[in-house]
């Protein structure tokens, strides 16, 4: 039951976050998207450090530095995409921007599948991915493309 309560809190929080992002953007303030990105970064940083004692891995400062260096390129790409999304919220509706912003998971899955096929880690889709996973990924990517086109 614990995971279900956490999932509900996540859904409600994520939904309200989009509302606050939209209300926090001001068309007359050219830096409003950067202000939102800074506040989101601060909140996420505090949350990350608060969760460190509860993580399942052993904590060490060198491990923290190594992981920070290892995942910085991916984090930077994600932060840039968030800032671009916040800038888009000034001019577009939340119902358009939010699904495109939150589709990074589906796009990461597509890139991962292509990468693993190219380097030879998997020889076919059926080795690693079941049919419902592939169907769900195709639907999400098709929806994002449809939002971009129409």
pLDDT at site 1: 60
pLDDT digits (tens, 9 = 90+) for 78-95: 788 788 888 887 777 777
Give how far Cα 69 sits from Cα of 1, 21, 44, Å. 36, 29, 18
Range 61-84 average pLDDT: 81
126 and 117 Cβ atoms separated by less than 8 Å: no
**Which residues 6+ apart lie within 8 Å of 41 measured at CB?**
79
Residue with tokens 């990468």: 115
Per residue, the 3-state secondary structure of 129-143, as one string, reads CCHHHHHHHHHHHHH
pLDDT over 80 (residue 45): yes
pLDDT tens per residue across span 21-32: 777 777 788 888
């Amino acid at each position: 039951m614990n995971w279900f309560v956490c999932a509900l809190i996540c859904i409600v929080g994520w939904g309200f976050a989009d509302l606050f992002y939209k209300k926090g953007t001001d068309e007359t303030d050219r830096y409003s998207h950067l202000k939102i990105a800074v506040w989101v970064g601060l909140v996420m940083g505090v949350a990350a450090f608060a969760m460190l004692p509860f993580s399942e891995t052993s904590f060490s400062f060198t491990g923290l530095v190594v992981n920070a260096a290892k995942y910085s390129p991916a984090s930077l790409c994600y932060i840039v995409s968030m800032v671009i999304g916040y800038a888009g919220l000034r001019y577009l509706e939340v119902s358009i921007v939010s699904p495109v912003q939150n589709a990074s998971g589906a796009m990461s899955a597509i890139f991962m599948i292509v990468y693993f096929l190219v380097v030879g880690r998997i020889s076919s889709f059926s080795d690693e991915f079941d049919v419902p996973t592939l169907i769900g990924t195709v639907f999400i990517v098709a929806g994002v493309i449809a939002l971009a086109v129409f």
